[in-house]
Amino acid sequence: MESLNFVKRLFQAYYKEQRDLFPSVSNLERREFAFIPWENSIMIRHLGFSSINLLTNYLVQNVPKHMYSSASLYELPDASTMEYKNYIGCDLVFDIDADHLEISCKKTHDFWQCQTCNNHGVGEAPLECKNCNSKKFNKLNWICEECLKQAKREVFKLIDDFLVDDFGIEKKNCSILFSGHRGYHVHLEDENLRNLTSQERREIADYITGKNISLRIFGLDASKESIHNLNQYRVGWPRKIILLLRNMLSIDNEVKLRNQLNRYHFKKPQIDALISQKGYIIENINDQRQTIWPVSNFGPASWVKLVNELINEIGAGIDIPVTIDIHRLIRYPNSLHGGSGFKVIEINYNDLEKFDPFSDPVVFSHKNLIKLEIIAPQVASIRVREETFGPFKKGEIQELPHDVAVFLISKNVAKIKRN
C-alpha cells in the first residue's frame, strides 16, 4: 500500500501541475470518458465532461491509474448504456503495439510465472506449467529499445506507405500519440471518415495489413503460369509487392539473400533457382512485362508462397479490432500510463524519427532517490533518460530515481523498502 500511495501522490502532483496546461481533445463534450483506479482493475466509464476544467478537477481528486476517452462522438456521452448515448460518428484510429508484433527481443525480456507453483521463465508462457500442469500464469510484458523501434517503423509504414500513398491523406492530418508504454496510436479526425461503418473500417484494416488479399486479382494462381496485373507501374499492392521483390533480388551479397529466403522457409533447390535466375526476373520487372515466370525449379506454387511472404512484410502491424470498433476507448493525450508512469504524448510527424520513448514521455524526477526492493523473480533492464538500470533479481535492494521507481512499482516488480 505504501508503494501504491507513493505513485498516486506523484500522479496527483503531476495532474495538479498540469491543471492549466492539460489539453482538450476536439469535441470534448461529445466524448465518453473512462478511468481505471489503482485499487482495482474495474473500469469506471460512461462519464462525460462539459469542460476541460471539470475534467482536470476529476483527475486531481480521483488520480486514476489509466485514463481514456472515446474515439466516438455521442449526443449523450454520459448515458449509462450505449443504446441511449445516441452515436454520432467515430474517428478512424489505428493502434500499433509491440505486443502484437513479431519481435525476437520479447523472448529475452518478457516474463511469466505460474500462479500455482511459482515456476517461472522468460519469453512466451507455455500452454501449461511443466511442474504442476496449471494453465494460469502471471505475465509481464517488458519494453526495450528494439520493441519500440519496431513499433515506430510500423507507424512510418502505416502513414507513408498506406495513408499517404494509397488513401491520399496528408501527413499533417495524422495525429500520432505515444501510448505511454508499448506502442503508438494514429488518429484521423475527419467528418467523412467518422461516418464509416465497422465493416468499412474492417476493409481498410484488411487492406493495410494485407489480410484477405486475393492473389487471383494479380493473376497469381498455383495452377497457372502467368501474372496479369503484378507490376511496378500499377498502384497499391501490385506495386508494393514488385518493388519489394526487386529490392530483395537486387541484394548483391548472396549470403544475405539466402538468409532472407531462408526466413521464408524455402528449400535449397528453390533458393538456388531464384538466385541463379534473379537477373532474368529483374529484367522482366524493369521491362514492364506481364509475367515474371517461368523460372526453372520455382513454379507457380512457389510464387504464391513468396508473394504471401512479401505481403506479410509489407503490411503495417496495426491491431485490427481497435480500428473496426466504433465505440473504442483510447488513451487521453498527456495522461499518465499506470503501467509505466510515462506520459501519453502527441508527436508531430516530423519529430517522430527523433522521438525517444524512454526519455521524452518521462515526467518524474531523475534526481530524487528512493530505496526499492525487487519482488519479482527476475527483472529485465530498462533505460530511463540516459541511464540503464538492471537487470535485477528478487530480493535486491536498490536506491533508484523516482522516474525509474514509478516504472518498476507500476509493473508490480518492486516495492518501497524502509529501513
Q: pLDDT tens, 338-386?
A: 999 999 999 999 999 999 999 999 999 999 999 999 999 999 999 999 9
pLDDT at residue 36 above 70?
yes
Mean pLDDT taken over the chain: 92
pLDDT of residue 239: 87
Residues 137 and 125: their CA atoms lie apart, in Å, by: 7
Residue 368 gets which letter from DSSP?
A: S
Strand 66-70 versus strand 33-36 pairing type:
antiparallel
Residues 220 and 241: their CA atoms lie apart, in Å, by: 12
Mean pLDDT of 280-305: 75
pLDDT > 70: percent of the chain = 95
Mean pLDDT of 293-298: 74
Q: Which residue has the higher pLDDT, 298 or 176?
A: 176
The residues near 149 (Cβ < 8 Å, ≥ 6 apart) are none
- 150-166: pLDDT as tens digits: 999 999 999 999 999 99
pLDDT at residue 290 above 90?
no
Q: 3.40.5.50, 3.40.50.300, 3.40.50.720, 1.10.10.10: which CATH number matches 364-419?
A: 3.40.5.50
pLDDT at residue 226 above 90?
no
pLDDT of residue 285: 78
Of 13-17, 24-28, 209-213, the range with the lowest mean pLDDT is: 209-213
Mean pLDDT of 109-132: 91
- Which CATH number applies to 215-314? 1.10.8
Of 101-115, 213-227, 259-273, the range with the lowest mean pLDDT is: 213-227
pLDDT of residue 90: 98
The three state secondary structure string of 183-219 is: EEEEEECCHHHHCCCHHHHHHHHHHHHCCCCCHHHHC
pLDDT at residue 174 above 80?
yes
pLDDT of residue 102: 87
Mean pLDDT of 152-181: 96
pLDDT at residue 294 above 70?
no
Query: Which of 194, 183, 15 has the alpha carbon at shortest distance from 91?
Result: 194
pLDDT of residue 229: 60
The distance of Cα 162 from the centroid of its chain, to the nearest Å, equals 16
Cell 539473400 sits on residue: 257
Cα angle for residues 362, 321, 240 (degrees, 5° grid):
90
Q: How confident is the model at residue 276 (pLDDT cuts 50, 70, 90)?
A: very high
Bridge partner residues of 370 (DSSP) = 400
pLDDT at residue 221 above 70?
no
Burial grade of 176 (CB within 10 A; 0-12, 13-18, 19 or more): buried
The residues near 213 (Cβ < 8 Å, ≥ 6 apart) are 206, 237, 311
Q: How many CB atoms lie within 10 A of CB 239?
A: 16
pLDDT > 90: percent of the chain = 75
Mean pLDDT of 103-125: 91
- 321-335: pLDDT as tens digits: 999 999 999 999 999
pLDDT of residue 41: 87
- pTM for the whole structure: 0.92
Q: How many CB atoms lie within 10 A of CB 269?
A: 11
Q: How confident is the model at residue 300 (pLDDT cuts 50, 70, 90)?
A: confident
pLDDT of residue 360: 97
pLDDT of residue 227: 61
Residues 71 and 407: their CA atoms lie apart, in Å, by: 27
- 186-200: pLDDT as tens digits: 999 998 899 999 999
Which set of grid coordinates corresponds to residue 220?
497469381
Domain 13-99+144-203+320-363: CATH class, spelled out: alpha beta
Q: How confident is the model at residue 286 (pLDDT cuts 50, 70, 90)?
A: confident
pLDDT at residue 281 above 90?
no
Please report which helix (H) or strand (E) contains residue 298, including its range. Answer: none
pLDDT of residue 291: 59
Mean pLDDT of 2-19: 96
Domain ranges of the chain: 13-99+144-203+320-363, 106-140, 215-314, 364-419
Which set of grid coordinates corresponds to residue 235?
498502384
